[in-house]
Amino acid sequence: MKTAAWQAIIFDFDGVVVESGEIKTQAFANLYQEYGEEVMVEVAKYHVLNGGMSRYQKFRYFQEMLLEKPPLTAEEERQLDQRFSELVVEAVIASAPVPGAAELIQREAGRIPLFVASGTPETELNTIVVRRGLESYFTAVRGSPTPKQKLIADILTTHRLLPERVLMIGDALIDYQSAMVNNVAFIGRVRPGDQNPFPAHVDVLPDLSPLLL
């Protein structure tokens, strides 16, 4: 599968650049451990079904819909965010790369601009990218709280890119939906053994190695 036709590539991060999906699933479950096993299972399930959604939206959903409690205060949300970051950041930095991702990024960065658009908080995301030694390969690294749909739109506008010449690689339905809204081409990454979240017509790959061919 060739990448030569693209003017730019936008990568999701978790599950596309690094194999960090299970780290975050377990972290979400652990965050709600005090509420028991049943709640932990529901939290993990919701996280997996809503990959790419910002953690803040998930915190609010769990608080109001799952726990049926009053909305989180700003301070409660900040504390949840801090606890979650403590659970995941070092583990994500140390996680394995998705096969083919590092090689693809290194190759394409010398040819076209590359971007990250992720549901991870932007400051935390940049820390992870720097610690993994990837910062020099990306023109911009963008994350939440800005919604992914707007992240992509901002990248297109700021860097004067033609949507039809841009490829998005993601592993969650929200990645696909955000790409479609912006008229950007899309390839889905579905890890072997995982359920395919995408419509049947979407091209999917088990990892990024085929893009090196």
User: From CA 118, how far away is CA 141, in angstroms rounded?
Assistant: 8
How far is the CA of 24 from the CAs of 91, 134, 141, 184, 201, in angstroms? 9, 20, 19, 27, 28
The DSSP letter of residue 9 is: E
- Residue 1: per-residue pLDDT: 62
- Residue 52: per-residue pLDDT: 80
Q: What does the angle CA 212 – CA 105 – CA 91 come to, to the nearest 5 degrees?
A: 115
- Report residue 104 as tokens: 């693809």
**Tens-digit pLDDT profile for residues 71-100:** 999 999 999 999 999 999 999 999 999 999
- Residue 3: per-residue pLDDT: 76
Q: What is the DSSP string of 56-75?
A: HHHHHHIIIIIS--PPPPHH
Average of per-residue pLDDT across 102-125 = 97
Residue ranges of the domains in the chain?
8-19+97-212, 21-94
What CATH number should be reported for the domain whose range is 8-19+97-212?
3.40.50.1000
User: From CA 1, how far away is CA 19, in angstroms rounded?
Assistant: 22
**Tens-digit pLDDT profile for residues 129-150:** 999 999 999 999 999 999 999 9
